[in-house]
Amino acid sequence: MPILQVSDLKKIYTTRFGGQQVQALTSVNFAVEPGEYVAIMGESGSGKTTLLNILAALDKPTSGQVLLDGKNIVTIKEKDIAAFRRDHLGFVFQDFNLLDTFSIQDNILLPLVLAGKTYKEMEKRLLPLARRLGIDSLLKKYPYEVSGGQKQRVAVARALITEPRIVLADEPTGALDSKATDSLLNLFDQVNAEGQTILMVTHSTKAASHAKRVMFIRDGEVFHQIYKGAGTTEEMYQKISDTLTLLAAGGEEDA
Amino acid sequence: MRNSSLYPKLAVQSIRNNRRFYLPYILALMGDVAAIYIMSALCNDPGVKDMTPGRPNGYMYVSIFMSLGQVIAYLFSAVFVLYINGFLMKQRKKELGLYNILGMGKGHIAVVLLIETLLIALFGIGGGIIAGLTLHKLVSLILHQMVGMPVPFGFYISWDGMIWTAALFLLLLAVTLLVNLNKVRLSKPIELLRGGNMGEREPKTRWFMTLLGIVTLGAGYYIAVTTRTGVDAIVTYFLAVGLVILGTYCLFTAVSIFILKALRKNKKFYYQTSHFIGVSGMLYRMKQNAVGLANICILCTMVMVMLSGTLSLYLGTADMIDEQYPGDINVEVDYYPHPEEPFDGDAMLAVQTGFIESQGVTASSMGTRCELTFGAGQRSDGSFTTDRFSDGTVGAIVSMSFITEEGYAAVTGETLGLAPGEVAAYNVPGDTLTIHWDSQKEGRKLGESAYPIAKKLSSNPCFTASIVQMVTVVVPDDAALSEIYERETAVYQENSNPLVWHAYLDVDCGEAAILELEERYIDAAGDRGFFRNTGKWEICKWDLRSEGEEESYGLAGGFLFLGLFLGFIFLLATVLIIYYKQISEGYEDKERFEIMQKVGLSHGEVKRSIHSQILMVFFLPIVVASIHIVFDFNMVEKLLTLFYIHNSALTALCTLGTVLVFFIAYGIVYVLTARTYYKIVER
């Protein structure tokens, strides 16, 4: 059974002063299997962000359903959504979204504290995870004292500490330099190899080339997808580039 | 210049767009200007001066207080306007940076700022003057009620006051403009653009400041609580206030952080949802707001002390007058015992009532008493010495009054039944009253007297106008009083005080008639033979209750009025600081809570958490201020004794009332400003 099943997702925005309607998602269908590493690519305005917001339960679709482990997250009551998000989903954002009032350690522990876990339990999870991500020496520091790449690792740690069913990453390399990008993508590979399901939205061909599957979204629909299969990351990179060129040229390839 | 109309347009637009910041600023400016204009107009109102030529009265005090209050109010306004201006500029950095990047030179920005300042001046000062002109009459009427100040007909405009007020505030705004221009000149556009978005450092624990705060606050409180007399209070008051102000700043800046960090160290406590966000949030809030909160706290304390003190004074005046004037007229005769022609009180009373009756007015005596008062030093063993400056007595000078039992009964209506040699005493420790008759001159010692105290009096039966501690002793009869007089004279010799005889007369005519009566009395008393058979005495004078009332209410009312006025200005400042704090908190919290919501904090939890933190931040100052007031109470009480107010219960009630009213006002301000905060955070 897929971990995430999205069927016929539609989202229509109505502009503030009525009248004008904008169709962000026309009809999106896809499934993510456990342990998969999926990248979603698309131009600005293609509906990527809308899709991610709906998957993250930050926004409601106009119609359609999103099943996480067979449970429709669209119908979760407003008051339960925060708890649901924190228990089942992990988030990594482009601009890290670390709180400057907390130390690195407290930033990572934040979701557990919100979930009401005991400090003992927090300690048990924190150290092994920090070691795995290579940030165990930073725990006592504050966000303003560490580099962008380190911040993003902290954000990954925060996403993973709740042992989520799926990690949703929104342009995770967007604010990083090339070295930090490489390092983060390798980290994602490693985490994925350990069995973590990842869904990433990105503009970056390089980031997407690390995924096992890349979906292209255009005009609110999944337009095309590429599988890595047994191929290397370099081959994947090439395939993505070709597809993007084709898309830019306005090709009418079948999905 | 082709686009010369662009700058005014930009200036108007930016004030309009930033009205959330500028409107309260301009309104507060108006309030300040109006208050200061009214103060200066009250100082100079010629109509009032003409109506009260030469006589000391309520208006005289009002005039003095207002000219003093004006200076305080203006200095305070200056600090306050600069503070708010700093805040406004911080908020607008981004906008100005954008102008600069879009191609406006710094010179052009300066022009925009100049026009903005002129607009603010136009509305703030102009509006303030108009408000001042309108409210001046109303304030005069209130003063009339409070201090009996006469209100002239017509509408008085103080051109001097207007020009001065406007000029001073223009100067103030010019200074803010210079400050702002300097800021723009020194800044790089990219910094302007980034504005307040600097990295946040964790506040450090400052041991020295923490310790200093605890010590100064403790010392200030200690001084306030242990002050024993009004005179001591004058000396120590400013020391105590200084210590408490310093302590308050340290408390908010260092002690708070020390406590929060200690809480954070406690892992079990810290890692719970509500504590986790609360403690770390407060840590940063305290770092950024400590000084602002300390300011609010000190302002609140000042307003409350001023209002409760002046209110107690005003309300206590009625009691004081009753105490001082048992009847409409106090007749006071100073005399020395004379062997051949002793002063005869009964004859004097007969002369006085006889004169009044002869004028067609009924007079009735409310009693007479005779007293002897002299200064003494109190030794550490509780005994008294007439050598006030001998060892161990400095600083414990008392005023001792002696009255006879007959006089006591006349004033209080109670009989004591003292045996010869016994006394009743007010404010004397121990069972025996001991007086050492020591002279300052060459250290002569003239023996001592000891009287067993038969009864301790809980209230002072003898109204004596004294700013030092008062001791009152009731002796059985005139003989005992004479004995004490003899001993006093032996010590003080030519400097000895006379005995004072008081008669309290009630008359059945109105205030104006009493004044007339007094004039006719002065005429008549000039005649030889008017005081036939009254014996030898030094001075005989009338003291009218109505005059005492006018003077006392003038003083107390003047103080209360000043308290209300300065209280108004301070409150205005407090409100504005709270408001701007809420806004700046709001912008900072917005981002923080967005992140928390993304990571899994529900909307309700966010709201609850914000609410408790904001509540804590804004009610902390007033809670600390209330604690200050509690400790300060003793001192205010002692200071009030300088104005002959001894009613602790009334003072306590006034203080409690002021604190309550202030809490309510503060609460209302909080609720109103919190709405703006939520709008920002939840948008």
Residues of chain A with Cβ-Cβ distance to B272 below 8 Å are: 113, 116
Residue B176 has pLDDT above 90, yes or no: yes
Span of B36-50, B403-417, B475-489 with lowest mean pLDDT: B36-50
Q: Write the Ramachandran bin of B413: left for phi over 0, alpha for psi from -120 to 50, otherwise beta.
A: left
Span of B80-89, B416-425, B460-469 with lowest mean pLDDT: B460-469
Residue B606 has pLDDT above 70, yes or no: yes
Task: Retrieve residue B658's tokens.
Answer: 């002021």
The Cα of A81 is separated from the nearest Cα of chain B by a number of Å equal to: 7
Residue A39 has pLDDT above 90, yes or no: yes
Per the listing, tokens 């959330």 go with B20
Residue B195 has pLDDT above 50, yes or no: no
Q: Which of A79, A91, A115 sits opposite B598 (nearest CB)?
A: A91
Tens digit of each residue's pLDDT (9 = 90 or more) over B211-267: 999 999 999 999 999 887 777 788 888 888 889 999 999 988 888 888 888 888 888
Tens digit of each residue's pLDDT (9 = 90 or more) over B261-289: 888 888 888 888 778 888 888 888 787 77
Helix (H) or strand (E) holding A64: strand A63-68
Most confident of A43-47, B86-90, B442-446: B86-90
Cα angle: B346, vertex B348, B350; to 5 degrees: 70
Span of A168-177, B128-137, B228-237 with lowest mean pLDDT: B228-237
Residue B193 has pLDDT above 60, yes or no: no
pLDDT band at residue B197 under the 50/70/90 scheme:
very low
> What local confidence, expressed as pLDDT, does residue B212 receive?
93
Residues of chain B with Cβ-Cβ distance to A98 below 8 Å are: 595
d(C-alpha B450, C-alpha A213), whole Å: 109
Query: Taking the CA atoms of chain B, what radius of gyration do you get in angstroms?
Result: 33
Mean pLDDT of B150-155: 67
- Which chain A residue lies closest to B594 (C-alpha atoms)? A97
Mean pLDDT of A34-48: 87
> What local confidence, expressed as pLDDT, does residue B153 receive?
66
Average pLDDT, chain B: 82
Secondary structure (DSSP) of A142-171 = -GGGS-HHHHHHHHHHHHHTT--SEEEEES
Q: Could you give the residue ranges of the DSSP H alpha helices within B102-158?
A: 106-121, 127-147
> What local confidence, expressed as pLDDT, does residue A19 receive?
67
> What local confidence, expressed as pLDDT, does residue A102 receive?
86
Instruction: Provide the CA B216 distance to its chain's centre, in angstroms.
Output: 22
**How far is CA B521 from each of CA A93, B331, B345, B503, B514, rounded to the nearest angstrom?**
96, 12, 18, 16, 10
pLDDT band at residue B196 under the 50/70/90 scheme:
very low
Q: Would strands A197-202 and A166-170 be described as parallel, antiparallel, or unpaired?
A: parallel
| ipTM of this predicted structure | 0.77
Mean pLDDT of B568-582: 83
Domain boundary assignment for chain B: 1-198, 201-327+544-683, 328-543
Q: Which of A82, A91, A101 sits opposite B602 (nearest CB)?
A: A82
Q: How many CB pairs under 8 A join A and B?
A: 72
B267 touches chain A (CB under 8 A): yes
In contact, B59 and B149? CB cutoff 8 Å:
yes
Residue B8 has pLDDT above 60, yes or no: yes
Q: Could you say which residues from 3 to 42 on chain A have a Cβ atom under 8 Å away from some Cβ of chain B?
A: none
> What local confidence, expressed as pLDDT, does residue B409 receive?
83
Residue B401 has pLDDT above 80, yes or no: yes
Q: Nearest to residue A108, comparing CAs of A156, A66, A147?
A: A156
In contact, A152 and A185? CB cutoff 8 Å:
no
CB-based burial, B95-132: b 16+ in 10 Å, e otherwise: bbbebbeeebeeebbbbbbbbbbebbbebbbebbbebb
> What local confidence, expressed as pLDDT, does residue B80 receive?
85
B198 touches chain A (CB under 8 A): no
Q: Which amino acid is at A9?
A: L
pLDDT band at residue A255 under the 50/70/90 scheme:
very low
Residue A53 has pLDDT above 90, yes or no: no
- Which chain B residue lies closest to A141 (C-alpha atoms)? B202
Q: Which amino acid is at A14?
A: T
The Cα of B271 is separated from the nearest Cα of chain A by a number of Å equal to: 6
**How far is CA A250 from each of CA A243, A244, A245, A247, rounded to the nearest angstrom?**
11, 10, 9, 5
Tens digit of each residue's pLDDT (9 = 90 or more) over B322-365: 878 888 888 888 888 887 888 888 888 888 888 888 888 888 88
- Which chain B residue lies closest to A53 (C-alpha atoms)? B598
pLDDT band at residue B4 under the 50/70/90 scheme:
low
> What local confidence, expressed as pLDDT, does residue A218 receive?
85
Tens digit of each residue's pLDDT (9 = 90 or more) over B15-64: 888 887 888 889 989 999 998 998 888 877 766 665 554 455 556 777 77
> Taking CB atoms and an 8 Å limit, are B200 and A111 in contact across chains?
no
Per this entry, what is the length of chain B?
A: 683
pTM to 2 decimal places: 0.75
Tens digit of each residue's pLDDT (9 = 90 or more) over B498-514: 888 888 888 888 777 88
Residue B198 has pLDDT above 70, yes or no: no
B529 touches chain A (CB under 8 A): no
A49 touches chain B (CB under 8 A): no
Q: Give just the sign of the alpha carbon dihedral A14, A19, A24, A29.
A: positive
Torsion, CA B493, CA B496, CA B499, CA B500, rounded to 10: 160
Helix (H) or strand (E) holding B277: helix B273-324
Q: Nearest to residue B548, comparing CAs of B79, B148, B120, B224?
A: B148
d(C-alpha B400, C-alpha B388), whole Å: 12
Tens digit of each residue's pLDDT (9 = 90 or more) over B288-327: 778 888 888 988 898 898 899 899 988 888 888 887 888 8
Most confident of A17-21, A56-60, A76-80, B648-652: B648-652
Mean pLDDT of B597-625: 80
Tens digit of each residue's pLDDT (9 = 90 or more) over A101-132: 888 999 999 888 888 888 888 989 999 999 98
Residue B186 has pLDDT above 80, yes or no: no
Residue B372 has pLDDT above 80, yes or no: yes
Q: Would strands B445-457 and B432-438 be described as parallel, antiparallel, or unpaired?
A: antiparallel
